Structure 1
Amino acid sequence: MRRVEVTPYNEHWASMYEAEAAKMRCVFGEQLIAIHHIGYTAVPGLHAKPIIDIMPVVRDISKVDEYNQLMRDIGYEPRGENGISGRRYFQKGGDNRTHHVHVFRVENLHIRRHLAFRDYLRAHLNEAREYADLKRKLAQEFQYDIESYIQGKESLVKDIEQRALEWHLANHEN
């Protein structure tokens, strides 16, 4: 049974992302348009589960499965869409996961959602701290119950995500 762990921000998370991103640039090559550090480890100062979330953006999502063996070679387990249509998901670290990779085709709406959420928390530190406090409390309360942990933060995540999308649209109009 996996333990729900929320730890203080680790300044090494950014370099851990960079190391894996460099490997993925080699794996995906010409398919890769961009690669982003997303999730809570991408927000300086935010307590988080110590799992690095990476989002490669590719030209053609249907070609990503051709890279499954190369991803295995660098330690990742391919999981297909894993519950989100149009995504390819990989995880590293087995039961003690260290990295999640969420691959999307360019222009997929999930890309904007992930980037808006990350950037909003980076720009609104009070909300990031409020969210971190809730995560620490829930991790303590539900140490071995990931479903209850996720449900406990779901309402606040949806609220922040809505504000983040509105903020992103207002600040990134062309």
Structure 2
Amino acid sequence: MGQPLSGRRRRPTAGTSRGCHVYLSTPDNLHVKNHLAVRDVLRSRCDLRDEDAAIKAGLAVDPEVDINTYIARKSAVLQKMLAESDLRREDLVAIRRLNDPQGNS
């Protein structure tokens, strides 16, 4: 499992066979804001949703794709989605830093 996200705690659910988890987050959690902003743009912008789907479909057929390649290829469309969101500028800057800590995008 990856690094834990700050402001979010995972709690396994008891008695389930599906292995699902419940995540508790603070209201100002940047990861949750990011997720909801992308979700809302995908719901409202068919063009970006289709572009994202095409990228994912192309990545899915390549067994050599690793997480770094996935992130790199999705980055441009993700930035378009975030630019269309209602996130504040400081949140956008912080999300960009989280997604690209090396400053490559």
TM-score (norm 2): 0.57
Distance 2:55 2:43 in 1: 17
131, 139, 159: which one pairs with 2:52? 131
Say whether the 8 Å CA contact 1:122–1:128 is kept in structure 2.
Answer: yes
Report how many aligned residue pairs link the two structures. 83
Q: 1:148 to 1:114 in 2, by over 3 A?
A: same
Structure 1's unaligned 5+ residue stretches are 1-78, 167-174
Q: Which residue of 2 aligns with 1:118?
A: 39
Matched residues in 2 for 1:100 and 1:157: separation? 26
- Residue by residue over 1:105-130, the C-alpha shift from the partner in whole angstroms, topping out at 9 and shown as x without a partner, is 12323333221211111011121011
State the alpha-carbon separation in 2 of the partners of residues 131 and 158 from structure 1.
11
1:154 partnered with 2:75: yes
User: Secondary structure of 1:119's match?
Assistant: helix
CA RMSD of aligned residues (A): 3.3
**1:151/1:115 CA distance change after superposition, 3 Å:** same
2:6 counterpart SS class: coil
**Relative to total residues, which structure has the larger strand share, 1 or 2?**
1
Identity of aligned residues (%): 33
Aligned partners of 1:121 and 1:128 also within 8 Å: yes
CA contact 2:7–2:26 (8 Å) conserved in 1? yes
1:142, 1:149 within 8 Å by CA — same for their partners in 2?
A: no
| 1:88 match: secondary structure | strand
Question: How far 1:146 moved relative to its partner?
Answer: 3.1
2:28 equivalent among 70, 89, 107: 107
Q: Please, what TM-score do these two structures have when normalized by structure 1?
A: 0.38
| Cα separation, 2, equivalents of 1:150 and 1:98 | 26
